[in-house]
Amino acid sequence: MSAVPRETVSIDLGDRSYPILIGRDLLQDAALLDRYIKSRHLLIVTNEIVAPLYLSTLTQALEQAPGERRIHSIVLPDGESFKTLDTFGLVVDALIEHRLNRDASVAALGGGVIGDMAGFAAAAYQRGIDYIQVPTTLLSQVDSSVGGKTGVNHPRAKNMIGAFHQPRAVIADIGTLATLPEREYRAGLAEIVKYGFIYDTKFLAWLEANAPQLAAREDAAVIHAVKRSCEIKAAVVGSDEREQGLRAILNLGHTFGHAIETATGYGAWLHGEAVGVGMVMATDMSARLGWITDSERTRVVGLIERFGLPIKAPAIGAEHARRLMGMDKKVLGGKLRLVLLRRLGEAEVSGDYPAAALDDTLREHFGT
Amino acid sequence: MSAVPRETVSIDLGDRSYPILIGRDLLQDAALLDRYIKSRHLLIVTNEIVAPLYLSTLTQALEQAPGERRIHSIVLPDGESFKTLDTFGLVVDALIEHRLNRDASVAALGGGVIGDMAGFAAAAYQRGIDYIQVPTTLLSQVDSSVGGKTGVNHPRAKNMIGAFHQPRAVIADIGTLATLPEREYRAGLAEIVKYGFIYDTKFLAWLEANAPQLAAREDAAVIHAVKRSCEIKAAVVGSDEREQGLRAILNLGHTFGHAIETATGYGAWLHGEAVGVGMVMATDMSARLGWITDSERTRVVGLIERFGLPIKAPAIGAEHARRLMGMDKKVLGGKLRLVLLRRLGEAEVSGDYPAAALDDTLREHFGT
């Protein structure tokens, strides 16, 4: 066992409350898994990249735990392009084939795509069974761990089919990040810096001071960044579980980012990369509106760049982007509401801005 | 307008409360629809049988209402065999094609199959938008109107994929029953008599006294039967929205009935017919256990028979039936719990019976 401290973030949702356990070597800790995974019958949903790395470790630890457990698994193809209704159907097939009952659980072992699909399968199977998240990417550890969103994409729009379904526990083993490609690790950092921009200038300053340690994936820095990110997301989601109000600020950069992801085809840009550029654009627009200063804009863009993330959008064209954003879920009654920085450390959702500010931002970054 | 009285059953679920409106000529009542359907943008989900009968009536009434409404529709093939994930996908495609936003609604115009699929599409689309039920069969008026269950079948088991999602309103126009085939009407009566058996001997006596009027589809009798059925279902579901305890008594006859439906292929037997025979079997088993008397058993079977429902099971074989029931959702931790009549007017869920009572019942009705 490592001497690295373990952290727990408690997500308070009444009778659906659950813990996020953050630490190293959690996957092989049979006693810990036994404490948080009560079902005797599980289906582990994972993908072809993660399975060779961690599936047997997790399966063996679960089987070592006291009491008999039946553990099945399904290994899906990797990638956002498989986050479809068809793949969801394969997971349901496996649940039925292995005759999982209502007291069984689904465990999601992988990144956000696996978590979203496994979570939606758990939400819909027999109208809802338990699920456990075992996120193996930085992005999913800080993003999918909180909020209860599950679902799949439609060929014409992301995350269009899904459910709100809370996990029973999240086991975030930062040891799994060792095998994460650099580009994906950085995409996770984009989501982490977002929490600083929208909510917490103190955390933002900590990120600036600890950028080298984070870039080097040092345990203590990673554990703190994951913990603080989950705490902030939990505070924002808080009493707004169904995403009517404040929760939307978590989408800083996402409307612009979705346009990038859709225009370039799911998977060409990583979600975190697209959000990174999207945050640059939202920050730029906030500066155009005079809500933040030019030096604050520079500070935001600088931190994104410092984590090795792209800050330049692809030339998809302003009009094309506008059409793609028109299908986005953030459009309510036809009006395009955007998440902008009212000031550094405070985001708000607003449709109350001069049209020119959006036009200029789109043209500047996406080209005409 | 008809002089037939209208009734309303209020389903009390806090901020998800909704009314069930029961009467004649509701579909063409623009003012009433406007009062209960707030969305300006709707997708009506219906099927090829119902569409020629009622789709234009409903569409025109919605368009006549004050304020602009955009009404789209999708016409699905008819039948339980199309209650699949693929058909669900077609409804989602239509929602996306017509660019319905989160403040739009789905309206289900048809029987239980349409209600289940449209409801699940509404539940899953953008993780949940509003839906309105316009049930056009007797079964769906008394069954699907209360309880919030939505979903689709899996080739290997019924209702395996779905969600709990409450409608905003149910418009039960008994005028639509005029076009319902006799066999389907009777299948609806099976569900109605069930409420008498499990919960209310006074209603049971009323049903016996008013059997001729109900068989003749007389307005006042039908309206009362629908109203009382919805009230009883609401009382049973009550504080047990997620189906942990009491709610399961609504499944009287369903475990046996599901075996019949699955063995004979979805659609060969109507759900209500299968449940009718299932209730005969559950009642027979209750009598074998000495929980009800032989004359009470005769009374139950007699009322089912009087409504022209089959009381004889198909010879699918006891062992085959047992295997099919093993996949049923009512099996918790491997133990087969059945809904039985503790006494007439009171059902309970029990796994505490001698194995012989179930064996004898299965062999008696399904053959060896």
Residue B281 and residue B193 share a domain: yes
Compute the distance between CA of residue A75 and CA of residue A85 in angstroms, rounded to an integer: 16
Compute the distance between CA of residue A4 and CA of residue A177 in angstroms, rounded to an integer: 15
Instruction: Name the least confident of A263-277, B166-180, B181-195.
Output: A263-277
Residue B316 and residue B232 share a domain: yes
Question: Which one is predicted more confidently, B66 or A354?
Answer: A354
Residue A98 and residue A173 share a domain: yes
A167 touches chain B (CB under 8 A): no
Mean pLDDT, residues A220-244 taken together: 86
Beta carbons within 8 Å of A56's beta carbon, 6+ residues apart = none
Tell me the nearest-neighbour CA distance from B327 into chain A, angstroms: 7
Compute the distance between CA of residue A108 and CA of residue A137 in angstroms, rounded to an integer: 12
Question: Which one is predicted more confidently, B109 or A144?
Answer: B109
Compute the distance between CA of residue A268 and CA of residue A306 in angstroms, rounded to an integer: 22
CB B250 within 8 A of CB B162: no
CB-defined contacts A:B, below 8 A: 85
Predicted confidence (pLDDT) at residue A2 exceeds the cutoff of 50: no
Predicted confidence (pLDDT) at residue B63 exceeds the cutoff of 60: yes
Give the model's confidence band at A187: pLDDT under 50 very low, under 70 low, under 90 confident, else very high.
very high
Distance of CA A299 to the CA centre of its chain: 24
Strands B331-332 and B338-343: unpaired
Mean pLDDT, residues A136-158 taken together: 93
pLDDT at site B1: 45
Per-residue pLDDT of A170-184, as tens digits, reads 999 999 999 999 999
Q: Percent of chain A at pLDDT above 90?
A: 82
Residue that is last in its domain, among A131, A146, A179: A179
Q: Percent of chain B at pLDDT above 90?
A: 82
Give the model's confidence band at A79: pLDDT under 50 very low, under 70 low, under 90 confident, else very high.
confident
Predicted confidence (pLDDT) at residue B332 exceeds the cutoff of 80: no
Amino acid at A85: L
Max distance between CA atoms of chain B, in angstroms, equals: 64
Mean pLDDT, residues A310-338 taken together: 78
Backbone angles phi, psi at A258, to 5 degrees: -60, -40
pLDDT at site A240: 62
Element holding B139 (H helix, E strand): helix B138-142
Per the DSSP assignment, residues forming a β-bridge with B9 are B20
Give the residue numbers spanning the domain of A347.
Answer: 182-366
Mean pLDDT, residues B229-246 taken together: 79
Predicted confidence (pLDDT) at residue A317 exceeds the cutoff of 60: yes
Q: Is residue A2 part of a domain?
A: no
Compute the distance between CA of residue B173 and CA of residue B224 in angstroms, rounded to an integer: 13
B151 touches chain A (CB under 8 A): yes
ipTM of the complex: 0.87
Instruction: Name the least confident of A24-38, A233-247, A309-323, B41-55.
Output: A233-247
Q: Is residue A109 part of a domain?
A: yes
Q: For an interface test with A, give the residue of B93, B127, B330 to mutate (most A CBs within 10 A).
A: B127
Return the CATH number at A95: 3.40.50.1970
Strands A169-173 and A331-332: unpaired
pLDDT at site B335: 60
Q: Of B127, B154, B164, which is closest to A162 when you measure between CB atoms?
A: B127
- Could you tell me the two tokens for A331? 């459009």
Beta carbons within 8 Å of A6's beta carbon, 6+ residues apart = A21, A22, A23, A24, A26
Return the CATH number at B206: 1.20.1090.10
Residue that is last in its domain, among A146, A179, A212: A179
Q: Is residue B312 part of a domain?
A: yes
Question: Which one is predicted more confidently, B331 or B189?
Answer: B189
pLDDT at site B309: 95
Beta carbons within 8 Å of B362's beta carbon, 6+ residues apart = B318, B321, B322
Q: Is residue B2 part of a domain?
A: no
Predicted confidence (pLDDT) at residue B44 exceeds the cutoff of 70: yes
Average pLDDT score over chain A:
92
Task: Note if A258 is an active site residue.
Answer: yes
pLDDT at site A336: 84
Residue B209 and residue B354 share a domain: yes
Predicted confidence (pLDDT) at residue B173 exceeds the cutoff of 60: yes
Q: Is residue A157 part of a domain?
A: yes
Give the model's confidence band at B325: pLDDT under 50 very low, under 70 low, under 90 confident, else very high.
confident
Residue A163 and residue A17 share a domain: yes
Compute the distance between CA of residue B142 and CA of residue B192 in angstroms, rounded to an integer: 7
Compute the distance between CA of residue B227 and CA of residue B5 in angstroms, rounded to an integer: 12
Residue that is last in its domain, among A134, A161, A179: A179
Per the DSSP assignment, residues forming a β-bridge with A22 are A7, A172
Beta carbons within 8 Å of A125's beta carbon, 6+ residues apart = A92, A95, A100, A106, B160, B161
Residue A217 and residue A87 share a domain: no
- Could you tell me the two tokens for A229? 């990110």
Closest CA relative to residue A96, chosen from B313, B282, B153, B175: B153
Element holding B185 (H helix, E strand): helix B182-199
Residue A329 and residue A224 share a domain: yes
Element holding B132 (H helix, E strand): strand B130-135
Per-residue pLDDT of B266-309, as tens digits, reads 668 988 899 999 999 999 999 999 999 999 999 999 999 999 99
Mean pLDDT, residues B132-149 taken together: 95
pLDDT at site A331: 52
A93 touches chain B (CB under 8 A): yes
pLDDT at site B179: 95
Beta carbons within 8 Å of A95's beta carbon, 6+ residues apart = A43, A104, A106, A121, A125
Task: Match 């007797």 to its residue by tokens.
Answer: B138
Q: Is residue B1 part of a domain?
A: no
Closest CA relative to residue A157, chosen from B125, B307, B21: B125
Compute the distance between CA of residue B286 and CA of residue B266 in angstroms, rounded to an integer: 27
Q: Tell me if A124 and B162 make a contact (CB, 8 A cut-off).
A: yes
Per-residue pLDDT of A201-217, as tens digits, reads 999 999 999 999 999 99
Residue A59 and residue A81 share a domain: yes
Residue B330 and residue B232 share a domain: yes
pLDDT at site A241: 57
Give the model's confidence band at A244: pLDDT under 50 very low, under 70 low, under 90 confident, else very high.
low
Strands (E), chain A: 7-11, 18-23, 41-47, 70-76, 105-110, 130-135, 149-154, 157-164, 169-173, 331-332, 335-336, 338-343, 346-350
List of chain B residues whose C-beta atoms are within 8 Å of the C-beta of residue A125: 160-161
Q: Is residue A353 part of a domain?
A: yes
Predicted confidence (pLDDT) at residue A157 exceeds the cutoff of 50: yes
A329 touches chain B (CB under 8 A): yes
Residue B197 and residue B127 share a domain: no
Closest CA relative to residue A236, chosen from A3, A11, A2, A5: A11
- Indicate the number of domains in chain A: 2
Closest CA relative to residue B110, chosen from B149, B139, B81, B146: B139
Q: Is residue B210 part of a domain?
A: yes
Distances (CA, A) of A296 to A201, A204, A251, A291, A293: 11, 12, 20, 10, 5
Compute the distance between CA of residue B136 and CA of residue B113 in angstroms, rounded to an integer: 11
Q: Of A92, A101, A157, which is closest to B333 when you measure between CB atoms?
A: A101
Residue B190 and residue B171 share a domain: no
Predicted confidence (pLDDT) at residue B10 exceeds the cutoff of 50: yes
pLDDT at site A368: 87
Tell me the nearest-neighbour CA distance from A4 into chain B, angstroms: 38
Residue B192 and residue B135 share a domain: no
Closest CA relative to residue B334, chosen from B353, B351, B358, B318: B351
DSSP A279-321: HHHHHHHHHHTTSS-HHHHHHHHHHHHHTT---S-----HHHH
Instruction: Name the least confident of A45-49, B13-17, B148-152.
Output: B13-17
Give the model's confidence band at A332: pLDDT under 50 very low, under 70 low, under 90 confident, else very high.
very low
User: What pTM was computed for the model?
Assistant: 0.89
